[in-house]
Chains A and B, each alone.
Chain A
Amino acid sequence: MSTTAVRAEAPARDTLAQTALSLPSRAVAVFSGPLGLALKILLLALVNGIAVWAAIVLADAGKWPAFAVLAVTTLALDAAYLVRRALPLKFLLPGTLLMLAFQVIPIFYTVNVAFTNYSTGHILAKNEAVEGIQLNSLAPLENAKSYLMAPARDADGNLVLLLVDEATGDTFVGTREALTPIERDKVQVDELGVAGAEGYTLVTGPGLVAIDRELTAYTVPTDGAAAIRPEGLGVASELAPTLRYDAARDRFVRISDGVVFTDNDRGSFAAASGEELEPGWKTSIGFSNFSRIAKSPLVRDPFLRVFVWTFAFAFLAVLLSFVLGLLLAIALDKPGMRLQRSYRTLLVLPYAIPGFLSLLVWQGLLNDDFGVVNRVTGLDVPWLFDSNWAKVSVILVSVWLTFPYFFLISLGALQSIPAELTEAARVDGGGPWQVFRRVTLPLLLIVVAPLMIASFAFNFNNFGNIYFLTGGGPASSDQTTAGDTDILISYTYKLAFASGKGQDYGLASGVALIIFFIVATISSLAFWRTNALENIR
């Protein structure tokens, strides 16, 4: 601790200030003049060079919108750094561009999704969906035949299908026009299927890849709309469409009963009865997701309870983490205290282990019948299975995960508080607690308050903690789907990804947007209250 001793005998204020003030002049010497300028130009040239190269690639790939964005961005960058004005911009641009690309654009994307029906059954484009419906609607006829098949070429080189009826052993040649019987002994069949036929050349090996698209679309008409289609390379089936697509009127008609399925503007072809054809497609549906959220009893009934708990959870987790972190920072901010380095390192360890693992471990440890916590302490606490205890557990574990963060921050922040201030307060006659409350804490909060608000918002959306620890449980006494420890985001997950037909990204994005507004409002209010913004010098 020799350096500490030296520093404790720090030189008088003037000398120190001088030493510090000599820094800039030295820095100026290094960075001014041609070297600094050359560095700047080099960097800018590099950016431009990459941009031009990227532009060539984009143009090559025909991605013109991306090309335009790139061009505008690069020009803006050049302008910002070559023009003397817009000084702050020069410092803000690099981070801001990255933020735009990977935070803001995804947010816009999500907002956009909130107005679509993007969900299970609605992920294709409309033309792909129409194609899918037609494929899915092909059905084997009653007594439909299935054939052993081999693609072959006739004497003229036309693609035909050599077919052997599986049931009867009758042999045929199928063309796009018709199914023609041929003599059985002309066709050789072995255990692998059709092995050859007189007058025809089987398509084999690499030739198969070449005819794949042709074969996929190949139909041998049999009876009415029915046709034999290759189903692979050794089998063909007789299938008939059950739906007819009327492209001109953009609708499907069911052949058996004439029921008409029209575009319902919600990404499906639907009959008057409400029956929908699958697959549907992704389309914009306006505010439907939001009205669904507003109307759904699944959301309405437990909303207030879940909201209150979400708030309490986020608030308490942050507050307790901060208090504990600060307490530890103060405790270990004692010159000459033995072991303090070791303590600090050990305290940071929870932070060095991936969070999801810690949560899974805690979940096992807290099991009330079989968990270690009850065994070691001799308690019989229903940590995860009682509504109130589960909430306590969730908060405790969250504090466990978060306090090292506030510990580190406080440790650093305490250093920046001038000793003169605390000393002055002491001279004024303040006790240790008074000094802390009147001087240290307010100064600390200037730095820490925004972080606490950010941490609050993070916990407000802390899906992982709930999901891995309690899964939202235990089941609530109000009998809704929301469990007692479900927070808004974990409940959203249940609504959007474990109900209905599975994944509903549209709905999930809608709820996320609403949650965002809630947490942003609370946080803005908190800013206003703590005057965090007012303290910007």
Chain B
Amino acid sequence: MSRRTAFGALIVVAMLAMIAAALPASAAVSSGAAPGGTLRIWTDKDRRADIDRIAKAWGARRGVTVEVVEKGFGDIRDQLKTVQPATAPDVIIGAHDWTGQLAADGLVLPLSPSAATRKQFPKYALDAFSYGSTVKRLYGAPVALENVGLVVNTRLAAVPKTWAALERAALAFKNRNPDNLAIAVPQAPAGDAYHMYPFFSGLGGFVFGKNRAGNLNPRNIGVANTTFLKNASMIDRWDRLGLINSKVNYDTAKNAFLKGQAAFWITGPWEADTLKQSGLRFRIVQLPKIKFRSVPFLGVQGFMVTRYANTHGVGTLAKDLVASYIMTASSQRALAAANGRFPANLTAGKQVRDTVLAQFGRAGQGGVPMPNIPQMSSVWEELGGAWLKSTNGTATNARPTFQTAARNIRTKIG
């Protein structure tokens, strides 16, 4: 070692001792971990203010501090899988179709609300949050319901009572002007099986059949069931006539309806405010029966208790909040209203005065909850793609398209 390096080393040692002494070690530890007795809730933007108010009122009574963290809705599910226990949430808001994945992951805890509480909810809303192949258990407290309906511009067309009437009116309207759409339903660019579901169910299609225990069976795929295939030629006719055009994307459909270039629009309560402010005269109904009742997919949003609630020592508190307090009519009313949805609680539902929401609610009668088993992720793209292809105006034969989709779904589920 040269003298110069030795000198350097000496200074290094001196300096580092100084710096090390100056920095308190404790300053480095992050303040991520919640102190004992704090309950952490992950919520989306829409409901942030209301859950804050409701959960804090509850917390005051139970002597527990509530911390509400805002996340993107989809991020809640994704981040729950990689979150560190110290910063993990005890309660999350979620969609019912996450139930299967999160329960299979072991990230959410089963709930048992009292019989009196259960009675205040429609069976399908509780079913939507229930999962389990051997034992079916409830994993979420339903809060808000949503589904699509057929919005009719009543200045441009009468509310159709039958499918034939809808077809006639829609085509007549479309032929009035080359810019007009017959039925504005979004599909482009990648397909949209959710918005297309009323047409699918109306032709006899279903996604998963149920087994004897009443559970969805991922082996029984109804995307190309014989009844549906028999009716599939109707799709070819719609395509030929331009009743449904898969090149329509969400904005095109919305703009067409708002500008009076479409008399019929398939959409859901998230557009309730747009509709109210549009100045149009409209009514929302269920899509008329095609061959079968054309019911939409039902979506249920609600709260779940994560496994981290137990590790944080707030397990019973979290269950008390979710399975009791949040399920009461008054909490439900506020939480559903927070993002403009119909409340899941029946008592709260009866108090809804908003006619648009009520009409959307009626349009969902008899609807099918989106399958909540994890295998559903194999379905969306294939089913949406089949619709996309068979209604793109190129005279594709729908029958083989849906058969291919069913085959691909089967392969994907494996």
Q: Do chains A and B make direct contact within the complex (CB under 8 angstroms)?
A: yes
- A65 on the interface (CB 8 Å rule)? no
Cα A215 to Cα B132 with chains together (Å): 25
Asked if B189 is an interface residue, CB under 8 A from chain A, the answer is yes
Residues in A whose Cβ lies below 8 Å from that of B316: 208, 212, 215-216, 230-233
Does A219 sit within 8 A of B, measured CB to CB? no
A330 contacts the other chain (CB 8 A): no
A205 near B63 (CB under 8 angstroms)?
Answer: yes
Q: How far is the CA of A212 from the CA of B36 in the complex (A)?
A: 11
**Residues of B with C-beta under 8 A to A148:** 114
0/1 string, B303-335, CB within 8 A of A gives 1 = 000010010011111011111100000000000
Whether the pair A136, B137 counts as a contact (CB closer than 8 A) is yes
Closest to A205 in B: B63
The reply to whether the CB of B346 lies closer than 8 angstroms to some CB of chain A is: no
Which residue of B has the minimal Cβ distance to A53?
B23
Task: Write out the residue numbers on chain A whose beta carbons fall within 8 Å of the beta carbon of B36.
Answer: 209
The minimal Cβ–Cβ distance linking B268 to chain A, given in whole angstroms, is 21
Across the interface, do A209 and B314 meet the contact criterion of CB distance under 8 Å?
Answer: yes
Query: Does A68 interact with chain B (Cβ within 8 Å)?
Result: no
Given A138-B110, A146-B115, are A205 and B8 also a contact pair (CB < 8 Å)? no
Q: How far is the CA of A499 from the CA of B115 in the complex (A)?
A: 37
The answer to whether B113 and A208 have CB atoms under 8 Å apart is no
Residues of B close to A341: CB separation below 8 A? none
Smallest CB-CB separation from B36: which chain A residue? A209
Are the CB atoms of A232 and B324 closer together than 8 Å? Answer: yes
1/0 per residue B207-223: CB within 8 Å of A? 00000000000000000
Instruction: Count CB-based A-B contacts (< 8 Å).
Output: 268
29 contacts between A and B (CB under 8 A): A45-B12, A49-B15, A50-B19, A53-B25, A53-B28, A78-B9, A121-B374, A128-B106, A129-B106, A135-B109, A135-B110, A137-B134, A146-B112, A205-B61, A206-B37, A212-B313, A213-B315, A232-B321, A232-B324, A242-B135, A279-B103, A279-B104, A279-B105, A367-B247, A475-B389, A497-B377, A498-B380, A501-B104, A502-B374
* Beta-carbon contact of B8 and A44 below 8 Å: yes
Pair B320/A233 contact, Cβ less than 8 Å? yes
Q: Which residues of A contact B8 (CB under 8 A)?
A: 37, 40-41, 44, 82
Question: Is there contact, CB below 8 Å, between B2 and A84?
Answer: yes
B384-414 near A? 1/0 per residue, CB < 8 Å: 0100110010100000010010011001111
In A335-366, which residues have CB < 8 Å from any B CB?
363-364
User: Chain B residues with Cβ under 8 A from A48's Cβ?
Assistant: 12, 15-16, 19
Interface centre among B18, B23, B117, B191 (most CB of A within 10 A): B23
Check B29–A57 contact: CB distance below 8 A. Answer: yes
Q: Does A385 contact B (CB under 8 A)?
A: yes
Does A479 reach chain B (CB closer than 8 Å)? yes
Contacting residues, chain A, for B12 (C-beta < 8 A): 41, 44-45, 48, 78, 82
- The interface size of chain A toward B, counting residues with CB under 8 Å, comes to 97
Kindly specify which of A104-112, A439-447, A466-474 makes contact with the partner chain: A466-474
A204 CB-CB contact with B under 8 Å: yes
Q: Does A392 contact B (CB under 8 A)?
A: no
**B:98-143 near A, CB below 8 Å:** 100-101, 103-107, 109-117, 132-135, 137
Chain B contact residues, majority secondary structure = helix
4 closest Cβ pairs, A-B complex: A49-B19, A279-B106, A45-B15, A471-B190
| Cα of A71 to Cα of B249 in the assembled complex, Å | 57
Residues of A at the B interface (CB closer than 8 Å) are 37, 40-42, 44-46, 48-54, 56-57, 60-61, 78, 82-84, 120-121, 123-124, 128-129, 132-133, 135-140, 146, 148, 166-167, 204-209, 212-213, 215-216, 230-235, 237, 239, 242-243, 254, 275, 277-280, 296-298, 363-364, 367-370, 384-385, 469-475, 479-481, 483, 494-495, 497-503
Known contacts A135-B109, A140-B112, A481-B381; 9 further A-B pairs (Cβ under 8 A): A37-B8, A53-B23, A60-B29, A120-B374, A212-B314, A215-B316, A235-B323, A279-B105, A473-B189
A500 and B2 contacting across the interface, CB-CB below 8 Å: no
Q: Which residues of chain B have C-beta atoms less than 8 A from A52's C-beta?
A: 16-17, 19-20
Closest to B374 in A: A501
Min C-beta distance of B189 to chain A, whole Å:
6
Q: A232, B320: Cβ atoms under 8 Å?
A: yes
Q: Is the CB of A213 within 8 A of B313?
A: yes
Interface assignment of B251: CB less than 8 Å from any CB of chain A: yes
Give the bracket for the number of chain B residues in contact with chain A: 35 or more
Give CA–CA (A204, B135) in the complex, Å.
Answer: 33
- Are B115 and A367 in touch, CB under 8 angstroms? no
Q: Name which residue of chain A comes closest to B102, CB basis.
A: A120
With both beta carbons as reference points, the residue of chain B lying nearest to A149 in the complex is identified as B114
Flag if B412 contacts A481 (CB, 8 Å). yes
A504 smallest CB distance to B (angstroms): 10
B155 at the interface (CB under 8 A from A): no
Q: How far is the CA of A117 from the CA of B65 in the complex (A)?
A: 38
Tell me if B44 is interfacial: C-beta within 8 Å of chain A: no
The reply to whether A367 and B252 contact each other, CB–CB distance below 8 Å, is yes
* A136 with B110: CB separation less than 8 A: yes
A499 engages B134 (CB within 8 Å): no
Q: Nearest-CB distance from B360 to chain A (Å)?
A: 26
Report whether B324 and A46 are in contact in the complex, using a CB–CB cutoff of 8 Å: no
Given known A48-B16, A166-B115, A235-B114, contact A136–B135 (CB-CB < 8 A): yes
Task: Report the bound CA distance from A128 to B8 in whole Å.
Answer: 52
Q: Which of B5, B29, B107, B408 lies in contact with A84, CB distance below 8 A?
A: B5
| Distance between A306 CB and nearest chain B CB, rounded to angstroms | 15
Task: Give the chain B neighbours of A215 by CB distance below 8 A.
Answer: 315-316
- Distance between A62 CB and nearest chain B CB, rounded to angstroms: 12
Given A83-B5, A167-B115, residue A204 in contact with residue B63 (CB < 8 A)? yes
Task: Give CA–CA (A234, B317) in the complex, Å.
Answer: 10
- Chain B residues with Cβ below 8 Å from A370 are 247-249, 252
- Knowing A82-B9, A370-B252 touch, does A471 contact B189 (C-beta < 8 A)? yes
Asked if A237 contacts B317 (CB within 8 A), the reply is: no
